[in-house]
């Protein structure tokens, strides 16, 4: 019994440490589509109703919007900013207990919109964690919270 439990814990630990996906970043000015699993949300593909959320509209300079997002990310526990450039930010969010990693990407368009994608690296369901995270981040952005 101890062997099965040990093996199960080891498998869970290893599965949580999935490598960074290769499909991250902008392709033809858009973030990649979500997989069929419900553990992802995205603003670029309105026809994908199961995964779609509205992009974040802003009425400040693009650079200020980017800095606001970066401040929020830097002040969010268990979050690491991986990439930040003129139109794109990629951050990794790590869950507290099982250390699951979610990739969150932002695309700053010229139309004063922030498109984003939040996706779990492993598993099928995230119990709404990605949608909840992005709703919280949007709230903080609109409140100009750090």
Residue 9 within a domain: no
Residue 130 within a domain: yes
- Looking at the 3D structure of the chain, how many domains does it have? 1
Each residue's pLDDT, cut to its tens digit, for the chain (146 residues) gives 555 544 444 444 444 568 988 889 999 999 999 999 999 999 999 989 999 999 999 999 999 999 999 999 999 999 999 999 989 999 999 998 889 999 999 999 989 999 999 999 999 999 999 999 999 999 999 998 65
CATH of the domain at 81: 3.30.310.80
CA distance 132 to 39: 11
pLDDT at 7: 42
Residue 89 within a domain: yes
3-state secondary structure of 21: coil
pLDDT at 9: 45
Residue 1 within a domain: no
Phi, psi at 26, each rounded to 5°: -95, 135
Residue 94 within a domain: yes
Residue 102 within a domain: yes
Those residues with Cβ within 8 angstroms of residue 130's Cβ, 6 or more apart along the chain or in another chain: 39, 40, 41, 102, 118, 119, 120
Domain hosting 122: range is: 26-142
CA distance 66 to 107: 10
Nearest to 44 by CA among 112, 107, 102: 107
Residue 114 within a domain: yes
pTM for the full model? 0.85
Residue 41 within a domain: yes
């Amino acid at each position: 019994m101890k062997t099965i439990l040990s093996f199960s814990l080891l498998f869970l630990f290893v599965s949580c440490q999935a490598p960074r996906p290769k499909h991250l970043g902008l392709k033809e000015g858009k973030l990649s589509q979500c997989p069929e699993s419900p553990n992802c949300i995205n603003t670029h593909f309105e026809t994908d109703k199961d995964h779609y959320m509205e992009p974040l509209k802003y009425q400040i300079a693009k650079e200020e919007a980017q800095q606001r997002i970066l401040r929020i990310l830097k002040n969010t526990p268990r979050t690491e900013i991986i990439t930040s450039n003129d139109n794109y930010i990629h951050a990794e969010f790590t869950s507290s207990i099982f250390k699951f990693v979610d990739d969150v990407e932002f695309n700053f368009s010229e139309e004063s919109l922030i498109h984003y994608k939040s996706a779990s690296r492993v598993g099928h369901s995230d119990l709404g964690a990605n949608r909840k995270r992005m709703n919280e981040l949007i709230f903080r952005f609109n409140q100009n919270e750090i």
